[in-house]
Amino acid sequence: MRVEMIAHALDWVYPPRCGLCGRIGEPPACPECVADMHSNGSPAAPVPLVDRCWVRFDYTARAAQAVRRLKFDRVTSLGPVLGQFLLAEVRGVLGDFDAVVPVPIHAMRWIERGFNQAESLTKGWPCRVDLSVLRRIKRTRPQVGLSQAERLSNLQGAFSARNVKGSRILLVDDVITSGATMTACADALRKAGARVVSAAALCGEKLGD
Ligand SMILES: [Zn+2]
């Protein structure tokens, strides 16, 4: 009872707010902001080495803001909430995979950020999320402004996978832009024996546009 009273008092002093529009009431994201995230549908162009690709939202407006709030402002409570939207997109096919693998960030990046946003999306998913499959072993420069060929070359040797012979893997990431990161991950996984590699991203730009 005492704890509840303290919680009520804190709510009065610091009322809970939507993490996106700042309105008082519904953290981490209010229904209006969620309604303002636009469905993407599948990417227009296939991603090399990736069997299928699901994308939940266009990387615009509220969805892009949500990713930035999660990743750069470290509003980690947004991760599992946003992840549920992605889960709704892939729930029907989860059983087709042996493991869900969040796209890893480099250890130095993890130290800077304190968490991996891709991993935070998969918190609470009713399946095997395996963080031991894939590692990011090379710290790469930012991909922004690079051509597709430069992106692929930048990511050459960036990922290393343990033996996953015959496995079906679903990669998960927050954003898919050119698809180069997913291709680099899929390359490492296929070299480690993966039979199927598909990908799911919370946000995506329309590939091939
Ligand atoms: Zn809001």
Whether 185 and 161 share a structural domain: yes
Distance, CA 58 to ligand 1 centroid (Å)? 18
Distance, CA 62 to ligand 1 centroid (Å)? 9
Enumerate residues 6+ apart whose C-beta is below 8 A from 39: 56, 57, 58
Confidence of residue 209 (pLDDT cuts 50, 70, 90): very low
* Total number of domains constituting the chain: 2
Q: Does residue 141 or residue 107 have the better pLDDT?
A: 107
Whether 108 and 140 share a structural domain: yes
Report yes or no on whether pTM surpasses 0.85. yes
Whether 4 and 77 share a structural domain: no
Distance, CA 20 to ligand 1 centroid (Å)? 5
Q: In this structure, is residue 209 part of a structural domain?
A: no
Where are the alpha helices (H) located in 128-207, listed in sequence order?
Answer: 148-154, 180-191
Q: Would you call 209 exposed, middle or buried from its count of C-beta atoms within 10 A (0-12, 13-18, 19+)?
A: exposed
pLDDT for 208 equals 47
Give the helix/strand (H/E) hosting 128.
none
What are the C-alpha distances in Å from 51 to residues 19, 47, 117, 126, 197?
35, 8, 23, 22, 6
Note down the domain range covering 61: 38-204
Distance, CA 100 to ligand 1 centroid (Å)? 30
Distance, CA 159 to ligand 1 centroid (Å)? 36
Whether 75 and 112 share a structural domain: yes
